[in-house]
Structure 1
Amino acid sequence: MTEQNIHGYRVADVPVRGGSMRCGIWGPQDPAAPVVLAVHGVTASHKAWGLLAQALPEVRIIAPDLRGRGRSNTLPGPYGMASHASDLAAVLQAFDVETAVVAGHSMGAFVSVVLAHRYPSLVRSLVLIDGGLPLQVPAGLSDEEVIAAVLGPAAERLGSRYESREAYRSLWRQHPAFARNWNLLVEEYVDYDLTAGEGGLRPATCYAAMAEDTTDLNRGTALPEALGALAVPGLLLRAPRGLLDEPNGLYSPLHVRSWEDKLDWLTVQDVPEVNHYTILMDSPGAGVVAGAVAGALAAAGPVASGEAGQ
Structure 2
Amino acid sequence: MSAHTYRTVDVAVPGGDLHVGVWDPVAPQTAQVLLVHGVTSSHLAWPFVVEELPGIRAIAPDLRGRGRSNEVAGPAGLAAHADDLAAVLDDLGIESIPVVGHSMGAFVSVVFAHRHPSRVESLLLIDGGLPLDVPAGMDADAVADYVLGPTAARLSMRFGSIDDYLEFWRPHPAFAHAWSPELESYFAYDLVEDGSGMLRPATSYATMVDDTVDMNTGSALPEALADLQHPAALITVPRGLQNEEPGLYAPEYLEGVLAVYPSIKHTRLDDLNHYTIVMSEPGAAVVGEAVRALVAHEHPVG
Give the TM-score of the pair, scaled to structure 1: 0.92
Cα deviation for residue 119 of structure 1 reads 0.5
Instruction: Show the counterpart of 2:189.
Output: 192
Say whether the 8 Å CA contact 1:238–1:271 is kept in structure 2.
yes
Cα deviation for residue 218 of structure 1 reads 1.6
Instruction: Show the counterpart of 1:303.
Output: none
More off after superposition, 28-37 vs 41-50: 28-37
- The counterpart of 2:87, out of the listed 90, 97, 106, is 90
Q: SS of 2:136's equivalent? A: coil
CA–CA separation in structure 2 for the residues paired with 1:298 and 1:265 = 19
Say whether the 8 Å CA contact 2:103–2:126 is kept in structure 1.
yes
Say whether the 8 Å CA contact 1:27–1:57 is kept in structure 2.
no
CA–CA separation in structure 1 for the residues paired with 2:29 and 2:145 = 44
Q: Does 1:169 align with 2:166?
A: yes
More off after superposition, 29-38 vs 40-49: 29-38
Cα deviation for residue 145 of structure 1 reads 1.1
For residue 103 of structure 1, what is the amino acid of its counterpart?
Answer: V
Q: SS of 2:296's equivalent? A: helix
Instruction: Show the counterpart of 1:81.
Output: 78
Instruction: Show the counterpart of 1:290.
Output: 288
What are the Cα deviations for residues 82-112 of structure 1, in whole angstroms up to 9, with x where unaligned? 0000000010111111111100000000000
Instruction: Show the counterpart of 2:114.
Output: 117
Say whether the 8 Å CA contact 1:69–1:206 is kept in structure 2.
yes
Cα deviation for residue 264 of structure 1 reads 3.8
Q: Does 1:160 align with 2:163?
A: no
Instruction: Show the counterpart of 1:308.
Output: none
CA–CA separation in structure 1 for the residues paired with 2:292 and 2:256 = 26
CA–CA separation in structure 2 for the residues paired with 1:226 and 1:265 = 14
CA–CA separation in structure 2 for the residues paired with 1:233 and 1:74 = 34
What are the Cα deviations for residues 44-69 of structure 1, in whole angstroms up to 9, with x where unaligned? 00000001111112111000000000
Instruction: Show the counterpart of 1:229.
Output: 227
- The counterpart of 1:42, out of the listed 22, 36, 39, is 39
Cα deviation for residue 232 of structure 1 reads 0.6
CA 235–56 in structure 1, closer or farther in 2 if over 3 Å, else same: same
Cα deviation for residue 33 of structure 1 reads 3.6
Q: Does 1:132 align with 2:129?
A: yes
Instruction: Show the counterpart of 2:236.
Output: 238
Instruction: Show the counterpart of 1:208.
Output: 206
For residue 81 of structure 2, what is the amino acid of its counterpart?
Answer: H
CA–CA separation in structure 2 for the residues paired with 1:184 and 1:257 = 37
Cα deviation for residue 19 of structure 1 reads 1.4
Instruction: Show the counterpart of 2:247.
Output: 249
Say whether the 8 Å CA contact 2:191–2:202 is kept in structure 1.
yes
CA–CA separation in structure 1 for the residues paired with 2:6 and 2:110 = 27
Say whether the 8 Å CA contact 1:43–1:205 is kept in structure 2.
yes
Instruction: Show the counterpart of 1:19.
Output: 16
Q: Which has the higher contact order (CA 8 A, sep 6+)?
A: 1
For residue 59 of structure 2, what is the amino acid of its counterpart?
Answer: I
Instruction: Show the counterpart of 2:216.
Output: 218
CA–CA separation in structure 2 for the residues paired with 1:205 and 1:57 = 31
Cα deviation for residue 176 of structure 1 reads 0.8
Cα deviation for residue 165 of structure 1 reads 0.3
More off after superposition, 7-16 vs 72-81: 7-16
For residue 167 of structure 1, what is the amino acid of its counterpart?
Answer: D
For residue 185 of structure 2, what is the amino acid of its counterpart?
Answer: E
Say whether the 8 Å CA contact 2:27–2:55 is kept in structure 1.
no
Q: SS of 1:299's equivalent? A: coil
Say whether the 8 Å CA contact 1:12–1:22 is kept in structure 2.
yes
Say whether the 8 Å CA contact 1:231–1:265 is kept in structure 2.
no
CA RMSD across the alignment: 1.6
User: What fraction of aligned residue pairs are identical, expressed as a percent?
Assistant: 52
Cα deviation for residue 32 of structure 1 reads 5.6
Instruction: Show the counterpart of 1:54.
Output: 51
- The counterpart of 1:63, out of the listed 60, 82, 87, is 60
Cα deviation for residue 256 of structure 1 reads 2.3
CA–CA separation in structure 1 for the residues paired with 2:183 and 2:37 = 14
Say whether the 8 Å CA contact 2:28–2:55 is kept in structure 1.
no
Unaligned runs of 5+ in 1: 1-6, 301-310
Unaligned runs of 5+ in 2: none
What are the Cα deviations for residues 233-275 of structure 1, in whole angstroms up to 9, with x where unaligned? 1111101001000122001112222232222430110111001
Instruction: Show the counterpart of 1:3.
Output: none
Cα deviation for residue 228 of structure 1 reads 0.9
Instruction: Show the counterpart of 2:69.
Output: 72
Say whether the 8 Å CA contact 1:29–1:60 is kept in structure 2.
no
